[in-house]
Amino acid sequence: MVKKLILASALFWIASFAYARATTFYVDAMHGADTSNGISRHTAWKTLSRVNRAHLAPGDQVLFKSGDVWHGSLVPDASGSPKHPIVFARYGNGPLPLIAAGGKAKDAVRLYNVQYVEVRDLAITNHGRTAAIRRGVDVVLDNFGTAHHIVIEDLYIHDVNGTPKQKDDGGIVFQSLGRKIPSRFDGLYIRRNIIWKVDRSGIVARSSNVARSRWFPSLHVVISDNFLDNIGGDGIVPWTTEGAVVKWNIAKRCSQRFHQYNAGIWEWSADDTFFTMNESFDTKGTRDGEGFDCDYNSRGTHFYRNFSHNNDGGFMLICTPINHSTAENAGNSGSVVNDNISHDDKGLLVNLSSAWNVTVKNNRFFVGPHDHVAFLMNKWGGWSNHVWFLDNSFSIKGNGSVTFGHGIKRLRNGLYRIAPGWGGATDIHFDGNTYSGTVFNWPRQSTAPEKHKPQSVDMNWASEPMFNPRHPLEYPAYLKAHHAWMVRLFQKVFPKGPMTPSARSVHTVTNDVK
């Protein structure tokens, strides 16, 4: 026992001594010198190469001078410790320090097999002469195991011309790779970043552990308060996660250039993902083109109080290939979509393909005077079953319909040949829904469908806060104002509902189907 106490005491003093030596290093692109020691503003380093070869220790900080520009890539290789992360940030006032990879490297910032690292308050670009695999920030675990506490926040990532050939390039990418040692994140925080004019994806993941036979999901992943605008393909896509939280993000103008089945905010191969208070709008195209998507190999996904508007493909896609096996693909079950707002979405309000045990409840749909929208049931190798459409409200100035996809293959524009009714879908419960306006093929309900008085909610678009991503330093004020605007909007539309959502505020009406 005495030996153990002595050993513990020695380790404590070693750790304390290591942190006592924690150093703040300064980097000045104009007046620094790599031959300096870097430990003061007057003896700052100059280049990214000097930073990359530094032997950083837990608690160290590397601060880049505001307003300066570095051409190249930031590629640190050191990890911090649980209480003493390594931090990369800025010093001084003025424009954010800029790391410009110039298309000469795949990644402007690359964190490879490290943990307890925080990166914040930097501007990042990676634009080359022609499109290629490029990223602003790439966080990679490769045969690493579990990495803890990685923070990517308050970055301004813009002008990254990636390629449409794969989804895992663009703004921020997090990857968990490796066949020998499965890798995952435990504590990954992506928050308050501006991502503007990037291809193909805004925030996206990649993993070697998506198959259920190798399932090793990342934990405690939080994607919050990010602003995305003018994205070539997908907006935000977590995958191979368990219990991820995606909240208060704004995804504007996604799928602007690559119409290869993209959506604004969605998940894939993820369990118990919770989406709340996100705004997704102006997504282009009808492949898929929805504001939100609940995709396959996922269980227990929950969309609560999100705002979708003016998306070409509609509000929500819920899908899976039905010919799944439990060893590889868990399908799509236990999904809940409740208390959301869809306003002036085009095409398909809800597109349900082959999923089961789904609840779509208490949502508010507002359809514009020139729009023809539909609830669509289609099959991806089979039909959906055990579906509840309950207590939704449809205020339709144009017209709407309930249809199924006639035939499996999509048309060239991504849409389906349609016919009235639910098609081959079974155990579909449609009850308590109300509507105004014209609806075709309205299905039977346990109670007669109630036609309410025409409803309209003054969206007061003029009062919606606006943000120009050319001015990143104005983002904190915009974000605060946007939060308040979203709260007021939901209070108008759901005056009796709670404004503080719980992760499971609606209990699904059936048990999860395994």
pTM of structure: 0.92
For residue 462, is pLDDT > 70? Answer: no
With 60 as the cut, is the pLDDT of residue 17 above it?
A: no
Mean pLDDT for all residues in the chain: 89
Q: What would the pLDDT profile of 157-202 be if each residue is shown by its tens digit?
A: 999 999 988 899 999 999 999 989 999 999 999 999 999 999 999 9
Residue ranges of E strands in 96-212: 98-100, 107-112, 117-120, 123-126, 135-142, 146-153, 156-161, 170-177, 184-191, 194-199, 201-207
Minimum mean pLDDT range among 142-151, 173-182, 482-491, 500-509: 500-509
Task: State how far the Cα of 389 lies from the Cα of 361, in Å rounded to an integer.
Answer: 6
Q: State which amino acid sits at residue 499.
A: M
| C-alpha closest to that of 90 among 31, 137, 24 | 24
Specify which residues 61 forms β-bridges with: 24, 87
Residue 496: per-residue pLDDT: 76
The yes-or-no verdict on residue 502 having pLDDT over 90 is no
Cα separations in angstroms, 347 against 266, 307, 396: 18, 17, 13
Domains of the chain are 22-97 (3.30.1910), 285-514 (no CATH)
Which residues fall within 8 angstroms of residue 402, CB to CB, at 6 or more apart?
374, 375, 420, 421, 422, 439, 440, 441, 442, 443
What are the pLDDT digits (tens) for 381-419? 888 999 999 999 998 888 888 888 765 455 666 667 778
Say yes or no to pLDDT of 507 above 60. no
Residue 290 has pLDDT above 70, yes or no: yes
Whole-number pLDDT of residue 495? 87
Identify the pLDDT of residue 162.
Answer: 95
Q: What percent of the chain has pLDDT over 90?
A: 70
Pick the more confident residue, 240 or 13.
240
Share of the chain above pLDDT 70, in %: 86
In tens, the pLDDT along 220-269 reads 999 999 999 999 999 999 999 999 999 999 999 999 998 788 999 999 99
The predicted-structure confidence for 73-114, as pLDDT tens digits, reads as follows 999 999 999 999 999 999 999 999 999 999 999 999 999 999
Both tokens of residue 266?
């969605």
Note the pLDDT of residue 478. Answer: 98
Contact 211, 330 (CB under 8 A): no
The pLDDT score that the predictor gives to residue 159 is: 98
What is the Cα 35 distance to its own chain's centre?
A: 42
Cα–Cα distances (Å) from 330 to 213, 299, 485, in that order, read 10, 7, 38
- 415-445: pLDDT as tens digits: 677 788 888 888 999 888 888 888 877 777 6
- C-alpha closest to that of 334 among 373, 296, 307, 289: 296
Average pLDDT over residues 271-300: 96
